Structure 1
Amino acid sequence: MADTCGQVLLGSGLTVLSHPLMYIKVLIQVGHEPLPPTLGRNLFGRQVYQLPGLFAYAKHIVKIDGKSGLFKGLVPRLCAGTLGTVVHSQVVQKCHENDNVRLPGGPQKSQAGSLEHVVNETTKEMIARSCATVVTHPFHVITLRCMVQFIGRETKYSGIFDSVVTIYREEGVLGFFAGLIPRLLGDVLALWICNMLAHFINTYAIDDSMSHTGEMKNCSQAVTGFFASMLTYPFVLVSNLMAVNNCGLSGGLPPYASVYPSWIDCWRHLSREGNMSRGNSLFFRKLPAGKMYALEQKRFF
């Protein structure tokens, strides 16, 4: 219990600190570009439009809503983080308890570091994360919609209780789980890619006789985690877009987004337009000259 409380406090602190970054990333994912790009050149001398980065975007939000405006949607996100930590901890504990209960003559426990052990541990983690994601997804949806209200200056989702009533009245129970499937798929794929790559690197590329073996293995885990998140980013993008799709807010309607019948249609649309990595970077946001980034920016070209 003490470990769970510590995780909740640490997670809440990190959530507060990182919230402005997520807020800006979500607005970019939706396609909101309120500031005009500037024409410049890249390292190869090619003309590119440089889109505003993190600090320019944050300055724009502060100018309109003040510093507190950078924390829209923080309360439901904190609720999601707290509930997710508790659910994840409880599910992991149950999985380990069931794993320790073995019948006489049953299969022996897999050796630590073996492929079987990695598969078993990854499976437990997958179950725990999936349960936490499903339980907390309604808060995630509310968080995203509170953020996207910045685009049209709406106040439709002004609090957790009011948001719950609004979503249930307009979309029913399924509205709380908009975008859940791509989010789950992305989480599961990222987890398996990260753990399996790290296992093979640690087993076949790092010799135990080498110095600083522990640090190298931890580094490989971090690198594979970053690589996995890059590969599965399109699932995050599609999930967030589907969470605000056709919800009555300007950010979920044309010209920012089409009304997608399903997340697969959203994926195909983004793929055709070459926008599968939109919002993946908050600093080096360059656009080849002559290419439209969003309909909102037509006045700049």
Structure 2
Amino acid sequence: MIAGAGGGLVASIATCPLDVVKTKLQAQRAVQGQRGYLGIADTVKTILRDDGIRGLYRGLGPTILGYLPTWAIYFAVYDGIKEFFGEPPMAGTHHEQDRLYPAAQVKGYQPTMREHPWSLHIFSAMAAGAASTTCTNPLWVIKTRFMTQSKDELRYRHTLDAALTIYRTEGIRAFYRGLVPSLLGIAHVAVQFPLYEQLKLIAQRDSDKPLTSQTILLCSAISKMTASIATYPHEVVRTRLQTQRLPLADDTSSDGMVKHHTRRGIIYTTRNLIRKEGWTGLYRGLSINLIRTVPNSAVTMLTYELLMRQLSRRRRTSHDP
């Protein structure tokens, strides 16, 4: 948990600017006659002009706060399922030493060797991802709200203020907007794992030598990018739902007319997005997301490995007579 959370922490800080740009691109709505972002370069220029460098790190607080419980829940559920349905590797064995835990995100578990069938890896990863996503969704809603704030609309001062403001004005349900598409997005593991295993088999061929770290990293990156492209629309829909601000009570205008706030779900949001912006609207921010995926994965894996070596060294030292 410590190694995974440490890797995720470093990766979240390193790639936060890319996450902010991606989220803003996902959240922008095509409204005729209104100013909007034209693309990645224009988005970055607008953020720097309006908010400076700090604007590229909006939402970092709830992101960091979300990593520890995310990894804690993920590891507990993942290892619990594997131990219940399959035999865990023996301590000190070659399998146990070479096992590699999650890479870029909690949704993607990429072992260097399969000590269990890949089908069990997929089931365990999806169940663990669903549990951690459900428990930490409120923090990701707050993160998305921070990242999509404009300079003219500073509603939230810090994470606690955002949580209290959302609860007072929109109720507890607001913290779980976008949960359904997030859970649907976990299915990308079903794309990533079989492809990852197949790529490793192709790279291995008839060789008896173990795959190099560079080859494993390449197989991991290709499988993750493919899965991300295949399941990306759920991220756009999730962001649109999380940025909906619907007050608890209906508003009354100055002329006495009552304005009702209709709560729209995933189906309406998706249909409305396609109708107004076309199918390409479901892929807003895809390019920046792909750019973000590779360094995020690399930083997480590198940090994880360094931390695991340090922790293993200390563990061996403490057990030496």
TM-score by length of 1: 0.71
Match of 2:155 in 1: 156
Q: 1:96: Cα distance to partner? A: 3.4
**1:279 aligned to 285, 302, 320, which one?**
285
- 1:123 and 2:123 equivalent? yes
Question: How many residues were matched structurally?
Answer: 246
Match of 2:189 in 1: 191
Query: 1:24-63, aligned counterparts within 5 Å?
Result: 24-31=21-28, 51-54=38-41, 56-63=42-49
Q: 1:75: Cα distance to partner? A: 0.5
Match of 1:107 in 2: none
In structure 1, what residue type is equivalent to 2:123? T
- 1:22 and 2:31 equivalent? no
In structure 2, what residue type is equivalent to 1:184? L
Identical-pair percentage: 25
Q: 1:60: Cα distance to partner? A: 2.5
Q: 1:186: Cα distance to partner? A: 0.9
Q: 1:18: Cα distance to partner? A: 1.0
**1:64 aligned to 42, 46, 50, which one?**
50
Match of 2:10 in 1: 13
Structure-1 separation of matches of 2:29 and 2:285: 10
Q: 1:283: Cα distance to partner? A: 10
- 1:74 and 2:60 equivalent? yes
| Unaligned residue ranges in structure 1 (runs of 5+) | 38-50, 103-111, 249-257, 285-301
Structure-1 separation of matches of 2:143 and 2:25: 15
| Unaligned residue ranges in structure 2 (runs of 5+) | 89-112, 248-260, 291-321
Match of 1:87 in 2: 73
Distance 1:247 1:149, change over 3 A: farther
TM-score by length of 2: 0.67
Structure-1 separation of matches of 2:206 and 2:16: 40
Aligned to 1:276, the other structure's residue is in SS state: helix
In structure 2, what residue type is equivalent to 1:53? I
Distance 1:101 1:198, change over 3 A: closer
Between 93-102 and 21-30, the greater mean CA deviation after superposition: 93-102
Q: 1:64: Cα distance to partner? A: 1.7
Distance 1:185 1:52, change over 3 A: closer
Output one character per residue of 1:112-142: Cα deviation in whole Å (capped at 9) or x when no partner.
759x811011111111111111111100000
Aligned to 1:149, the other structure's residue is in SS state: coil
Structure-1 separation of matches of 2:139 and 2:282: 25
Contact kept? 1:142, 1:157, Cα under 8 Å: no
Q: 1:230: Cα distance to partner? A: 0.4
Contact kept? 2:82, 2:120, Cα under 8 Å: no
**1:265 aligned to 257, 260, 268, which one?**
268
Q: 1:267: Cα distance to partner? A: 1.1
In structure 2, what residue type is equivalent to 1:30? A
Structure-1 separation of matches of 2:67 and 2:157: 19
Q: 1:52: Cα distance to partner? A: 4.0
In structure 1, what residue type is equivalent to 2:125? E
Contact kept? 1:146, 1:158, Cα under 8 Å: no
Match of 2:293 in 1: none
Contact kept? 1:246, 1:259, Cα under 8 Å: no
Structure-2 separation of matches of 1:199 and 1:245: 39
Structure-1 separation of matches of 2:7 and 2:270: 34
In structure 2, what residue type is equivalent to 1:126? M
Q: 1:196: Cα distance to partner? A: 1.9
